[in-house]
Chain A
Amino acid sequence: MSNSNFTRRGMLKTSAIAGAGFAAPTIFTASSAAAYTNEPTGSSVTLGFNVPQSGPYADEGADELRAYELAVEHLNGGGDGGMMNTFSSKELTGNGILGKKVEYVTGDTQTKSDAARASAKSMIEKDGAVMITGGSSSGVAIAVQGLCQEAGVIFMAGLTHSNDTTGKDKKANGFRHFFNGYMSAAALAPVLEARYGNDRNAYHLTADYTWGWTQEESIAAATEAMGWNTVNKVRTPLASTDFSSYIAPVLNSGADVLVLNHYGGNMVNSLTNAVQFGLREKVINNKNFEIVVPLFSRLMARGAGENVKGILGSTNWHWSLQDEASKAFVKSFGTKYGFPPSQAAHTVYCQTLLYADAAQRAGTFNPCGIAEALEGYEFDGLGNGKTLYRADDHQCFKDVLVVRGKENPTSEFDLLEVVEVTPVDQVMYAPDHPMFAGGALGTCNPGA
């Protein structure tokens, strides 16, 4: 064979190069030399902000990114310090984290688990990020949380409302500040009872995926406990944009409350359809027909426009809150960007500060040290009142806001009003609650 010479030469060349590399083991930095994954050795520390910049939640992602940039500015001593001044822990001094300047990298999750994991991996493997944060959907948050557990970095969840994130899919390296479906239900139920009575027939329209199901389950359980009857639970495909065919049967079902377990564009469309069908003017069983949207956000309210007026829902935080921390945050966010922050922006800002503070208190960036510092940590001054990071499931417990679409909005941001602040005790649950059972935290993984 005439071409075998060529091969052999090629082989020799390749193996010579490979041999040269392998023959000098002293120049290998074995991955076990560092105490933990991506131990920062220079004068700076890198955080990874992994948010949806394209896809259905791009609005939320953009707002999260703004808040992250603000948090980094404050951590490095820029700006007016925002909630660092009101935070109950005074460890952060505007001198970075542990004296290291905070730098960040960003990535696009596209609201897809695969893309989110690819982006997070590149932050860990290429940019040396020591913490990943972000996510605007539970699927993505859970996927990235799993990745961080494997890789040995901390994950600070952003906007994720599913019970599973700190329930059956909880991980030792993952932490969530945002509230969840169970809490929404527990906070809403008493308000619904007070306003709509305890003799109602509820009809659920639910986005057909994990988050929708956990929320539907939570709301149904909480409302049934106070005497409501659940007439029907109908699952709608996530990709639906027209809900007319789902709304029509509601009219003939004898139900007098419609619960929309939808989020984002889904909720905007289903609510609009429901209002167009005149549901809100209907009187059934001598009661006014009511619509409830358990998870509300300002961005959704803006999408739904007029239709959102008077509709009850719950939210993690709202910029109209009048405590010192919220005011400080709204002020520094508003100064920088010219409009008030959304709840997504608030939760990721808090998560960044909480991470920085935990590192500062632990005196290390080691994920195990940080996890220990966060577990069972009680703090205040981040806009939600007294808050506990529970050790059993890494979920934050704090007051939950029940909000209502404002009748007379004064600006395009002033769309929701806070009806009631449900105290934390009412939304507390046991770590082994059936809706959260089935998973295990495992042990913290420092990687390397």
Chain B
Amino acid sequence: MFGLNKKDTTLFIIVAAMTLLAPFILNPFPTDSALAQFNAGYPDLMQRFVIFGILAIGFNILFGLTGYLSFGHAAFLGVGSYSAVWMFKLLSMNIIPAIILSVIIAGLFALVIGYVSLRRSGIYFSILTLAFAQMSFNLAYSVLTPITNGETGLQITLDDPRVLGVSVAENGNPPVTNLFGLEMRETFTLDLGAWAFQFNIGFYVCALIMLAAFYVSVRIFRSPFGLMLRAVKSNQHRMNYTGLSTRPYTLAAFVISGMYAGLAGGLMASMDPLAGAERMQWTASGEIVLMTILGGAGTLLGPVLGAGFIKYFENIFSKINDNILHTWFAIMPDGLEDLLVTIVHPFVGKGWHLTLGLLFMLVVTFLPGGLVEGGQRIAKALSRKKKDEPKTPDASE
């Protein structure tokens, strides 16, 4: 279908189903139960899942195919966000022009940075991209404050011109982002028994765009262009000796990857019209690398899984406080309860970094291929005879 082979079609359909049914899949626990803490099916987090999914898919086109490890991808994300917010401020609150501009600007940015950075490979390339990203961050944080509003971040205000829209909505507040009148924040809640499922317009817009992005990425992976990029990864010198210049290919991959990041940044601003400089910080760039490695670099699905995994920890585990721990262990005797809370305490709430770090270590040590490898091993074990089951490597969600 659509020029995909059977295996890829299946994969694409699985991804599509998982994405579109995310409000159900991510909300497995009834709203009033104690486990509702682990539900992730609320609009903001679902939007983040798919937006960071796009980012990781784009990063994977560069890192997974060519092996060039960029430590500066957050810069494109930030540039995309700023472009989108400026479009909201100047033109209209429709997300289409904003997203188009953010992709174009991020692409141009990637062209310039890529042109310089790709003269080197390996660690030097990583350092160059890191330097550019950190430069962008510092520019955005202080020097370019008139454009970026510095530390405070760029927001839409009541006195923006908005040529093709209104400066102030009817209720006296800044207008909200929309797609031809369809408001991004519009949410329907479906109450089914004890469950409440939230369907958010913004999420579905992001999800459809992510599916398109995923489709394009599959096509790139399977194209002759993709093959050329893989060849760069396996032995660039040999390619050069055969008289083939690899620069145009790597630069194209870099720009495409940067445009994906710009798209993600534009979408982020479309869901929540704010652009802050922290989005470009080196930690943000590092996070993208982590997502891709955690999920499985070079695989199609891996980066999306990795992105979801990290965002889940950031948003769900960081919110578990002592109070919640006490309600969990309330059935235990007092002394035991306090002991358990003390043991669990360092790993939740502000300790979510620690838990994530430990899991990252486990994944990298035991599943070098990332979460995707874990999935493959489970699938393999299941397809074998049932008695092999105990050997299944620990499942990672």
* A126–B173 CB distance below 8 A: no
* B276–A139 CB distance below 8 A: yes
* A107–B186 CB distance below 8 A: no
Q: Which of B144-152, B330-338, B368-376 contacts A (4 or more CB under 8 A)?
A: B144-152
- Given A7-B13, A107-B319, A237-B142: A147 and B272 within 8 A (CB)? yes
* A210–B315 CB distance below 8 A: no
* CB of B172 within 8 Å of the partner chain: yes
Smallest distance from the beta carbon of A165 to chain B beta carbons, Å?
Answer: 9
Smallest distance from the beta carbon of A49 to chain B beta carbons, Å?
Answer: 9
* CB of B164 within 8 Å of the partner chain: no
Q: Which residue of B lies closest to A238 (CB)?
A: B141
Kindly identify which residue among A54, A117, A149 contacts B173, using a CB–CB cutoff of 8 Å: A149
* CB of A218 within 8 Å of the partner chain: no
Interface string of B53-79 (1 = CB under 8 A from A): 000000000000000000000000000
* B190–A440 CB distance below 8 A: no
For the complex, give the distance between the alpha carbons of A5 and B225 in Å: 30
* A117–B142 CB distance below 8 A: no
Q: In the complex, which residues of chain A have a beta carbon less than 8 angstroms from the beta carbon of B272? A: 117, 121, 147
* CB of A143 within 8 Å of the partner chain: yes
- Given A3-B1, A125-B198: A119 and B191 within 8 A (CB)? no
* CB of B343 within 8 Å of the partner chain: no
CB neighbors of B among A79-129 (8 A)? 104-108, 112-115, 117-119, 121-122, 125-126
* B44–A125 CB distance below 8 A: yes
* B191–A211 CB distance below 8 A: no
* A27–B173 CB distance below 8 A: no
For the complex, give the distance between the alpha carbons of A112 and B280 in Å: 11
Q: Which of A28-36, A180-188, A355-363, A411-419 contacts B (4 or more CB under 8 A)?
A: A28-36
* CB of A322 within 8 Å of the partner chain: no
* CB of B89 within 8 Å of the partner chain: no
Kindly identify which residue among B6, B142, B159, B173 contacts A150, using a CB–CB cutoff of 8 Å: B173
Smallest distance from the beta carbon of A17 to chain B beta carbons, Å?
Answer: 8
Interface string of A419-448 (1 = CB under 8 A from B): 000000000000000000001101101000
Q: In the complex, which residues of chain B have a beta carbon less than 8 angstroms from the beta carbon of A208? A: 141-142
Interface string of B1-18 (1 = CB under 8 A from A): 100001001100100010
Kindly identify which residue among A28, A106, A118, A210 contacts B152, using a CB–CB cutoff of 8 Å: A210
For the complex, give the distance between the alpha carbons of A137 and B304 in Å: 32
For the complex, give the distance between the alpha carbons of A360 and B350 in Å: 33
For the complex, give the distance between the alpha carbons of A149 and B1 in Å: 46
* A3–B6 CB distance below 8 A: yes
Kindly identify which residue among B44, B149, B168, B174 contacts A121, using a CB–CB cutoff of 8 Å: B44
* A2–B142 CB distance below 8 A: no
Q: Which residue of A lies closest to B4 (CB)?
A: A3
* B48–A118 CB distance below 8 A: yes
* A122–B315 CB distance below 8 A: yes
Smallest distance from the beta carbon of B244 to chain A beta carbons, Å?
Answer: 35
* B172–A443 CB distance below 8 A: yes
Interface string of B151-177 (1 = CB under 8 A from A): 111010111000000001001111010
Q: In the complex, which residues of chain B have a beta carbon less than 8 angstroms from the beta carbon of A326? A: none
* B1–A119 CB distance below 8 A: no
For the complex, give the distance between the alpha carbons of A143 and B371 in Å: 34
- Given A54-B350, A112-B278, A114-B278: A119 and B152 within 8 A (CB)? no
- Given A125-B198, A440-B158: A139 and B274 within 8 A (CB)? no
* CB of A337 within 8 Å of the partner chain: no
Kindly identify which residue among B149, B185, B190, B321 contacts A28, using a CB–CB cutoff of 8 Å: B190
Contact count A vs B, C-beta below 8 Å: 157
Q: In the complex, which residues of chain B have a beta carbon less than 8 angstroms from the beta carbon of A125? A: 42-44, 187, 198
- Given A443-B173, A445-B171: A209 and B142 within 8 A (CB)? yes
* A31–B318 CB distance below 8 A: no
* CB of B138 within 8 Å of the partner chain: yes
* CB of B395 within 8 Å of the partner chain: no
Which of B39, B168, B173, B192 has its CB near the most chain A CB atoms (within 10 A)?
Answer: B173
Q: In the complex, which residues of chain B have a beta carbon less than 8 angstroms from the beta carbon of A29? A: 189, 191
Q: Which residue of B lies closest to A10 (CB)?
A: B13
Q: Which residue of B lies closest to A61 (CB)?
A: B350
- Given A7-B9, A147-B272: A126 and B153 within 8 A (CB)? no
* A27–B190 CB distance below 8 A: yes
Smallest distance from the beta carbon of A423 to chain B beta carbons, Å?
Answer: 31
- Given A4-B1, A237-B138: A211 and B151 within 8 A (CB)? yes
* CB of A164 within 8 Å of the partner chain: yes
* CB of B233 within 8 Å of the partner chain: no
- Given A1-B1, A14-B20, A442-B174: A106 and B349 within 8 A (CB)? yes
For the complex, give the distance between the alpha carbons of A237 and B158 in Å: 31
Q: In the complex, which residues of chain A have a beta carbon less than 8 angstroms from the beta carbon of B328? A: none
* A2–B6 CB distance below 8 A: yes
CB neighbors of B among A1-55 (8 A)? 1-4, 6-7, 10, 14, 17, 21, 27-31, 53-54
* B157–A439 CB distance below 8 A: yes
Q: In the complex, which residues of chain A have a beta carbon less than 8 angstroms from the beta carbon of B13? A: 6-7, 10
* A27–B192 CB distance below 8 A: yes
Which of B20, B151, B176, B353 has its CB near the most chain A CB atoms (within 10 A)?
Answer: B151
Smallest distance from the beta carbon of B207 to chain A beta carbons, Å?
Answer: 13
Q: In the complex, which residues of chain B have a beta carbon less than 8 angstroms from the beta carbon of A4? A: 1
* B279–A114 CB distance below 8 A: yes
Q: Which residue of B lies closest to A142 (CB)?
A: B152
Q: Which residue of B lies closest to A30 (CB)?
A: B188
* B279–A10 CB distance below 8 A: no
* CB of A138 within 8 Å of the partner chain: yes
* CB of A235 within 8 Å of the partner chain: yes
Could you give 9 example pairs across A and B, Cβ below 8 Å?
A3-B10, A14-B17, A53-B318, A118-B44, A119-B319, A142-B153, A146-B274, A150-B185, A209-B150
Beyond the given pairs A114-B276, A122-B319, A150-B176, 10 more chain A to chain B contacts, judged by CB atoms under 8 angstroms and listed by A's residue number, are A27-B192, A113-B278, A125-B44, A126-B39, A126-B45, A142-B152, A143-B152, A143-B155, A208-B141, A442-B158
In the A-B complex, the 7 residue pairs with the smallest Cβ-Cβ separation, listed nearest first, are: A443-B172, A53-B350, A113-B276, A209-B151, A121-B44, A139-B151, A126-B42
